[in-house]
C-alpha cells in the first residue's frame, strides 16, 4: 500500500498523534498493574501479528527483498523503539505526566539537530523557526513555570533521543526497503527485546514486587490490560508505524517530527474529555503555537522549494 499524496500522509500522521494522545490514559492505568517489559512484549507482538494481512496483500514486494539489509535495518529500528517506549513508560513511574510530555516532545528539535550532526542535512530557516515555535509551545502546554529533573525525567529524555533516532533512520531506510516487511520485523524485534529484558529482570514478569502476586491469565483477563494492549498494539503501534514508514516515503523527517508534536495536544483533549482536566491559558497558547509551527514549517518550506540533501555524501547509508 503506497501513499502518493503529501496531504494524505499528513492526515494519516495526525491520526497517529490522535491515537497516541488518546491511548495515554489507558497505558498509564495498565502499567500501574503490569511491568513495562511484559506490557511492551505483548503489545508489540500483537502489533506485528495485526500487520500480517498487509504482508499478504503486498507479498509481491518479497520477491526482490534483500533479507540481510532488511533484518539489519529492522533490528536497529526495533532497538530504537524498544529504548524509546521502555524509557518513556518506565519514566512515567517517577515523573509527572506534564514533564514526560514535554521531554518526549524534545524529539521535535532533536530530529533536525541529530540529522545535521549525523548526516549533515540542511533544512530551511522556516523549519528551524517551526522547531523553535513547537518547542516553546510544548513547554507552555506541558510544563509552564516549573521543570524539575529527577530519575523519571532522565529516562524520558533518553526516550526523546530514541524516538528522534527512529524517525531519522526510518527516513533513511524506507526509500530502499519494502515498508510492510520493515514495519513487521521491527515490531517483532521490539517484542523480542522486551521479552529478553523481562526474563533477565529480577522482578516478576506479571506483577510488581510490592503488589499481590497474580497469574499471567489473571493479568491478561483484566479489562484495563486487555483494552490497553489491543488499542496500543493494533492502533497505537501497528497502524502508527505502518503510517509513519509509508508517509516518510514522501515526507521529510523534520515534518514528521512536527506533526508528531501535536500528540500532547490530543493527550490534553483526552484528559479534558475523560478526566475533566483543563489546559488553562498557557496550555491553550502552547497548543496554538504547535499548530502554528506546523504551518510555518510546511508553508515556508514549500515556498522556498528547499530539498533536504546530505551535505557529506560519505554519511549516506548504503
Between 9-13, 97-101, 118-122, 261-265, the lowest mean confidence (pLDDT) is in 97-101
Q: Is the pLDDT of residue 316 over 60?
A: no
Q: Convert 241-256 to b/e letters by CB count within 10 Å (16 or more is b).
A: bbbbbbbbebbbbbbb
Name the CA dihedral angle for 41, 150, 17, 59, rounded to a multiple of 10 degrees.
Answer: -30
pTM score, whole prediction: 0.76
Q: Is the pLDDT of residue 311 over 60?
A: no
Predicted local distance difference test score (pLDDT) of residue 302: 52
In a domain, 105, yes or no: yes
Q: Are 99 and 143 in contact (CB under 8 A)?
A: yes
What is the extent of the structural domain holding 11? 6-315
Average the pLDDT over 262-274 and give the result.
76
Predicted local distance difference test score (pLDDT) of residue 192: 97
- Residue 287 CA to residue 280 CA, distance in Å, equals 11
Predicted local distance difference test score (pLDDT) of residue 297: 65
In a domain, 33, yes or no: yes
Predicted local distance difference test score (pLDDT) of residue 144: 58
Q: Which residue has the higher pLDDT, 216 or 56?
A: 56
- Going by pLDDT thresholds of 50, 70 and 90, the confidence category of residue 41 is very high
Percent residues over pLDDT 90 in the chain: 15
- Residue 121 CA to residue 118 CA, distance in Å, equals 8
Q: Which residue has the higher pLDDT, 229 or 95?
A: 229
In a domain, 1, yes or no: no
- Residue 90 CA to residue 19 CA, distance in Å, equals 20
Predicted local distance difference test score (pLDDT) of residue 190: 95
Q: Which of 105-109, 233-237, 258-262 has the highest mean pLDDT?
A: 233-237
Percent residues over pLDDT 70 in the chain: 84
Average the pLDDT over 60-84 and give the result.
88
In a domain, 96, yes or no: yes
pLDDT digits (tens, 9 = 90+) for 171-207: 888 778 887 888 899 999 999 999 999 999 887 787 7
- Residue 244 CA to residue 183 CA, distance in Å, equals 9
Predicted local distance difference test score (pLDDT) of residue 313: 24
Name the CA dihedral angle for 192, 196, 201, 207, rounded to a multiple of 10 degrees.
Answer: 40
Q: How many domains does the chain have?
A: 1
Q: Which residue has the higher pLDDT, 159 or 269?
A: 159
Q: Give the Cβ contact number of residue 116 at 10 Å.
A: 13
In a domain, 82, yes or no: yes
Q: Helices in 31-123 by DSSP H: which ranges?
A: 36-50, 52-57, 67-91, 97-105, 107-119
Burial of 14 (0-12, 13-18, 19+ CB in 10 A): middle
Predicted local distance difference test score (pLDDT) of residue 303: 45
Mean per-residue pLDDT of the chain? 78
Average the pLDDT over 270-292 and give the result.
75
Strand partners, 121: 310
Amino acid at each position: 500500500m503506497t501513499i502518493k499524496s503529501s496531504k494524505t500522509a499528513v492526515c494519516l500522521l495526525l491520526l497517529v498523534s490522535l491515537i497516541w494522545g488518546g491511548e495515554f490514559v489507558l497505558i498509564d492505568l495498565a502499567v500501574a498493574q503490569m511491568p513495562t517489559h511484559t506490557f511492551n512484549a505483548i503489545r508489540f507482538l500483537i502489533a506485528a501479528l495485526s500487520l500480517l494481512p498487509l504482508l499478504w496483500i503486498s507479498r509481491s514486494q518479497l520477491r526482490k527483498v534483500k533479507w540481510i539489509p532488511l533484518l539489519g535495518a529492522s533490528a536497529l529500528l526495533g532497538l530504537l523503539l524498544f529504548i524509546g517506549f521502555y524509557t518513556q513508560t518506565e519514566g512515567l513511574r517517577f515523573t509527572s505526566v506534564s514533564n514526560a510530555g514535554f521531554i518526549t516532545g524534545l524529539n521535535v528539535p532533536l530530529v533536525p539537530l541529530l540529522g545535521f550532526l549525523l548526516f549533515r542535512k540542511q533544512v530551511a530557516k522556516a523549519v528551524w523557526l517551526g522547531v523553535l515555535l513547537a518547542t516553546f509551545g510544548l513547554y507552555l502546554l506541558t510544563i509552564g513555570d516549573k521543570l524539575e529533573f529527577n530519575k523519571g525525567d532522565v529516562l524520558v529524555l533518553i526516550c526523546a533521543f530514541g524516538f528522534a533516532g527512529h524517525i531519522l533512520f526510518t527516513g533513511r531506510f524506507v526509500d530502499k526497503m519494502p515498508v510492510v516487511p520493515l514495519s513487521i520485523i521491527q515490531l517483532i524485534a521490539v517484542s523480542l527485546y522486551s521479552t529478553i529484558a523481562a526474563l533477565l529482570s529480577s522482578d516478576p514478569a506479571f506483577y510488581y514486587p510490592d503488589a499481590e502476586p497474580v497469574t499471567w491469565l489473571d493479568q491478561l483477563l483484566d479489562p484495563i490490560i486487555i483494552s490497553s494492549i489491543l488499542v496500543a498494539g493494533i492502533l497505537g503501534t501497528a497502524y502508527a508505524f505502518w503510517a509513519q514508514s509509508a508517509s516518510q516515503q514522501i515526507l521529510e523527517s523534520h515534518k514528521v517530527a512536527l506533526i508528531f508534536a501535536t500528540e500532547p495536544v490530543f493527550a490534553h483533549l483526552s484528559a479534558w474529555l475523560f478526566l475533566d482536566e483543563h489546559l488553562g491559558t498557557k496550555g491553550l497558547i502552547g497548543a496554538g503555537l504547535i499548530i502554528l509551527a506546523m504551518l510555518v514549517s510546511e508553508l515556508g518550506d514549500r515556498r522556498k522549494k528547499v530539498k533536504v540533501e546530505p551535505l557529506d555524501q560519505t554519511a549516506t547509508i548504503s
